[in-house]
Amino acid sequence: MTADQTREQHPSFLTVYMEDKMDIREFFKDCLKDFDKPDNWVDISFPGGDTCPSFEYNGYQIMVNHPDPEQRELEGSFRFTVFIALEYGEEGWAFYAETIEEILPELEVPYLTRPLVYDREYYLKEEARRKAS
């Protein structure tokens, strides 16, 4: 058996991982194909760690799911999920909608007025730390 045949039959973790990452990046592009991101949203997408692209704005994280409901990870999920960025991975406040027009007003509500997972001081310290870096 040649080295090439061995690699084909037993791909390394890195090879499989990179192939999957390319598929994920293509999927992320497909999620955004009909979406015009507002200029003031910061792309914080994490291909390979998240299931869809995400952006940060005004203290919120906005996940943008695939436009085709059949392509979404969870059946019945919405196109947009908004939550407090500092609460990523927590079961805190969230807003779900199918259109960007539905979420835009929610993004203008100061996130510190929402029900919070942590003590308010935590958010203020994190904001100060982020501004300093």
Q: Return averaged pLDDT per consecutive 10 residues of the chain, 133 residues in all.
A: 48 42 79 92 88 95 94 92 96 96 98 97 96 90
DSSP state at residue 82: E
- pLDDT at position 35 is 87
Give the bridge partners for 62, in sequence order.
55, 82
Query: 5 phi and psi, to 5 degrees?
Result: -65, -40
- Tokens standing for residue 81: 């999920």
Cα separation, 72 vs 51, whole angstroms: 9
